[in-house]
Amino acid sequence: MFGQLLIKECRQTAKSLIYWLIVLVLIFVFATQIGEMDILTEPQKGQADYGYKASSDEADIMKFTLGALVQEYMRGSYTTYPIGFYKSVTLNEKEEQQIGEIVRETTGISGLEEAEEIVESWYEAQRAAAGDSQEIMMNNLEIAPAAGLSYDRFTELMDQADAILGGGSSYGETYRSSNAQVPKTYEDAITEYRELTEKDRLTGGYARLFSDYMGIFLGLLPVFLTVTRELRDRRSGMQELICSRKCSSLVIIASRYVSMVVMLILPVLLISLPLLSRCMKYASGAGISADAFAFVKYTFGWLTPTIMTAAAVGMFFTELTDTALGVLVQGVWWFYTAFGGVNTLHGGMYGWNLIPRHNTELNWSGYQSAFAQLAANRILYVLLSLALVALTILIYDQKRKGRYRLSWKNIGRLKKSI
């Protein structure tokens, strides 16, 4: 009975317009974000540039952070990301004076005029270095800390600056450690490349990057499919017909839920094939032993728990309220998880986020060191989704027995009667 109902539910999903809109969105994301991405080639000695890396050296963090602060102090506007979105902050006179005092204590620079002179000299040096080139590649401004400034006092003052700006600035604890971007050496670049090709077998790194992009949208889109599927039954009168049948509530809800999760996983696997093909082609030419099943593993291990959770939220709240409340609930959750995790883009910091971030094909070592954390994260969301489905089955079963009825329409009638 379950198998037959599952096949019917899959067919129903395939007929849904919202389902195909979701597929088109995923295809668009892939094509515009990573569809034309070049596979990383082996770095060679003597290259002009190997990219940049974050430095954990306290001296580097201090001088790069202070350089950014002096620039923004001179401009009179400050960039923050309080919840992941860009925000430009302009301070009042009192707050600007407070920032000026922090600049003076941390750098010895007293006043806007001196800050303007330093920034202008830095800019002129960048322009002179570019020569006749039309493009000026700006290196980050570095400002040496004032004599005797300890790192503890520096962090204390930067926390104060972040608080004045309302949080989410480059000076708070969350982002401060990533301010110091220093050039990679050949040794750095070749180590990362060997980790990608030998330990990650090339496809592992790109499967994580693929999962990062897909996960952002799969943390939200499934809720639209489940909510519209549930509400469509109510509008068409199918709810009464289904309730009169002998199938158990478990079979009905489980088959519907599994069908939608399966139908969402299938396009993800198909969309990954072009990137997998390019990885395998490169690996074959470079003599790399690539993992042909990496994208399958990451789709099920990384993305499926996110799909399951978003779909379960939609089913639960629709069954609970007979409304599209699940879209609002999941939308708010998605907003905070997707944009609140921008400081974890480099990977290795997965926490309990619904959408784990790893926006690079590199950093295998970070992934490995945080693998237990990531596994616990994914297991948690599988269990949460199953719990929501179990509650959905319970509510649905009570409705079939006429013991439960909650809708905004009925609540409105109850208020009028009171």
Which H/E stretch holds residue 282?
helix 273-286
Give exposure, 23-59, as e/b (b: 16+ Cβ within 10 Å).
beebeebbeeebeeeebbeebeeeeeebeebebeebe
Please, what is the angle between helix 249-271 and helix 371-400, to 10°?
A: 140
Share of the chain above pLDDT 70, in %: 89
Give the tens place of pLDDT for each residue, 306-339.
999 999 999 999 999 989 999 999 999 998 888 7
Question: Span 149-174, mean pLDDT?
Answer: 93
**Contact in structure between 208 and 298 (CB atoms under 8 Å):** yes
Question: Span 105-128, mean pLDDT?
Answer: 90
Question: Span 218-232, mean pLDDT?
Answer: 93
Question: Span 288-316, mean pLDDT?
Answer: 97
Give the tens place of pLDDT for each residue, 26-80.
999 999 988 888 899 999 998 888 888 888 899 999 999 999 999 999 999 998 8
Cβ within 8 Å of residue 214, ≥6 positions away? 26, 29, 30, 268, 271, 303
Three-state SS at 53: strand
Please tell me what DSSP assigns to residue 324: S
Least confident stretch, 73-87, 232-246, 301-315: 232-246
Torsions phi, psi for 351 (to 5 deg)? 55, -140
pLDDT tier at 413, thresholds 50, 70, 90: very low
**Contact in structure between 16 and 229 (CB atoms under 8 Å):** yes
Give the tens place of pLDDT for each residue, 166-175.
998 999 987 8
**Could you write out the DSSP letters of every residue in 136-197?**
--PPPP--PPPTT--HHHHHHHHHHHHHHTTS-BTTSHHHHTTS-EEEPPHHHHHHHHHIII
Least confident stretch, 300-309, 325-334, 392-401: 392-401
- Residue 183, pLDDT above cutoff 90: no
Question: Span 222-238, mean pLDDT?
Answer: 80
Q: Which of 11-15, 117-121, 259-263, 338-342 has the highest mean pLDDT?
A: 259-263
Question: Span 102-122, mean pLDDT?
Answer: 92
**Contact in structure between 143 and 62 (CB atoms under 8 Å):** no
Q: What is the pTM of this model?
A: 0.80
Spatial CA neighbour of 171 closest among 241, 79, 265, 297: 79
Q: Tokens 């400050």 appear where?
A: 78
Share of the chain above pLDDT 90, in %: 66
- Residue 137, pLDDT above cutoff 70: no
What is the model's pLDDT at position 108? Answer: 94
- Which contacts (CB < 8 Å, 24+ apart) does range 49-52 have? 49/183, 50/183, 50/184, 50/185, 50/186, 50/188, 50/189, 51/183, 51/184, 51/189, 52/181, 52/182, 52/183, 52/184
Mean pLDDT of the chain: 88
Three-state SS at 82: coil
Please, what is the angle between helix 304-321 and helix 325-340, to 10°?
A: 150
The amino acid sitting at 298 is Y
What is the model's pLDDT at position 325? Answer: 94
- Tell me the helices (H) and strands (E) count for the chain, helix number first: 19, 4
Cα–Cα distance measured from residue 344 to residue 304, given in angstroms and rounded to the nearest whole number = 20
What is the model's pLDDT at position 163? Answer: 95
Question: Span 137-151, mean pLDDT?
Answer: 87
